[in-house]
């Protein structure tokens, strides 16, 4: 099998076009993007489980429930179109209508996503003009689209892969945005994935859900779930994926999602470190997950990461508060291969000095061994810095 990874995005698979323009939703930078495939695509998606859902989430979820195919996605940044009432719903629907009209396709074939500030109405006069220009500027390059979906991100996040096996070739391309309000559940910030092979809707949805569970659902920047989180996967009809390649496609799709998820953590607002937290030796996977999530969302733990302080007491406190079944006197804690806690107690001061050296890296792993069983779970997080506070304090300024 030949696998080739490249720095491209949603237009790498054959048949997809995209564009990105500045229409004035934001003061500067691109703020409206479009993905288009003239050929019909099967569509799969996951959405935020936040009970406060943005208008585009409501509209797109309903469309996908009623129609298993799509040809286009219109996306704006700088405004979440959330908590905007019936006007917001009408605006989200109008974005679909306008894109469909300009593209010459059916309205039900267009999905919509938004990201940005909650509570403000979209400047629809600018959006209308932006959609018209975005359609005219469709191209095989996807960098402009990747730029158009950003908010507090410092750079674009995109990846693509080509796989050849037994004379059959397929491609997957993806891009994402996200740097803050990152703690999804069965969804993510905004992520768009395309493939040039046809996979039936039911199988496609199952594959995406599994990939999301193993990637985007295992990251945390700040423990806050967005109202707009969405992942959409488009599978272009026409070239059937051989059944024997389904496991390979699943693995590669998961790796694409993992790569995008790690880019998001790396670009966490103000972040300087990416840290993998692994809880092993749990009685059940549920216990391992409970403990892991409690640790990665602990503000005390995340500030200790920034301070490069191996304050393992914060980890012990988080594990104890997680409701996982534990025996404190059994727990071991490692920073990479440096053991700082043995059977619930400190090893020695020299171990903490070595752990401090580990924490000076921009990425490392923290392992918590509960010694209760064989189950384990891992997640990725980042440190919490002064810049995170500054960025969010100034977000609407």
- The catalytic site residues sit at 188
Report how far residue 113's alpha carbon sits from residue 287's, in angstroms, rounded to the nearest whole number: 35
Residue bearing tokens 């300024």: 397
219: which 2 tokens?
A: 């990251």
Report how far residue 115's alpha carbon sits from residue 223's, in angstroms, rounded to the nearest whole number: 18
Residue 365's contacts (CB-CB under 8 Å, 6 or more residues apart) are: 275, 276, 277, 278, 335, 336
385: which 2 tokens?
A: 């810095």
Q: How far is CA 322 from CA 72, 117, 279, 296, in A?
A: 42, 32, 12, 11
218: which 2 tokens?
A: 């295992």
**What's the longest Cα–Cα distance across the chain?**
70
Report how far residue 363's alpha carbon sits from residue 353's, in angstroms, rounded to the nearest whole number: 17
Choose among 215, 261, 214: nearest CA to 382.
261
69, 205 in Cβ contact below 8 A? Answer: no
Q: How many CA atoms lie within 13 A of 361 on its CB side?
A: 13
Q: How many CA atoms lie within 13 A of 59 on its CB side?
A: 30
Pairing of strands 332-335, 363-369: antiparallel
């Amino acid at each position: 099998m030949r696998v080739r990874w490249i720095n491209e995005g949603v237009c790498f698979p054959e048949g997809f076009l995209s564009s990105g323009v500045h229409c004035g939703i934001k003061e500067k930078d691109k703020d409206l993007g479009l993905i288009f495939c003239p050929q019909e695509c099967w569509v799969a998606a996951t959405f935020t489980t936040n009970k406060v859902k943005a208008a585009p989430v409501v509209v797109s979820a309903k469309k996908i429930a009623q129609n298993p195919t799509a040809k286009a996605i219109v996306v704006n940044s700088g405004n979440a179109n959330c908590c905007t009432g019936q006007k917001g719903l009408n605006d989200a629907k109008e974005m679909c209508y306008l894109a469909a009209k300009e593209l010459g396709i059916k309205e039900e074939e267009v999905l919509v996503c938004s990201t940005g500030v909650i509570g403000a109405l979209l400047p629809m006069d600018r959006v209308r003009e932006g959609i018209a220009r975005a359609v005219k500027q469709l191209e095989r390059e996807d960098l402009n689209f990747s730029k158009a979906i950003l908010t507090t991100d410092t750079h674009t996040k995109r990846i693509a892969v080509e796989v050849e096996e037994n004379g059959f070739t397929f491609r997957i391309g993806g891009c994402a945005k996200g740097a803050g309000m990152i703690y999804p559940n069965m969804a993510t910030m905004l992520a768009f994935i395309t493939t040039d092979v046809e996979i039936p809707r039911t199988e496609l949805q199952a594959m995406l859900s599994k990939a999301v569970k193993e990637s985007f659902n295992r990251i945390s920047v700040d423990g806050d779930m967005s109202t707009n989180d969405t992942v959409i996967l488009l599978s272009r009809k026409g070239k059937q994926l051989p059944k024997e390649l389904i496991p390979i496609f699943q693995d590669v799709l998961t790796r694409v999602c993992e790569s995008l998820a790690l880019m998001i953590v790396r670009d966490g607002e103000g972040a300087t470190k990416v840290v993998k937290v692994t809880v092993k030796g749990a009685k059940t996977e549920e216990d391992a997950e409970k403990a892991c999530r409690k640790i990665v969302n602990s503000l005390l733990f995340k500030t200790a990461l920034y301070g490069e302080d191996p304050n393992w007491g914060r980890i012990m406190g988080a594990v104890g508060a997680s409701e996982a079944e534990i025996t404190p006197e059994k727990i071991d804690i490692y920073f990479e291969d440096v053991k700082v806690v043995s059977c619930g107690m400190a090893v020695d001061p020299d171990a903490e000095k070595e752990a401090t050296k580990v924490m000076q890296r921009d990425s490392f792993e923290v392992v918590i061994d509960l010694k209760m069983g064989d189950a384990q779970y891992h997640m990725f997080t980042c440190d919490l810095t002064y810049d995170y506070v500054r960025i969010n304090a100034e977000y609407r300024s």
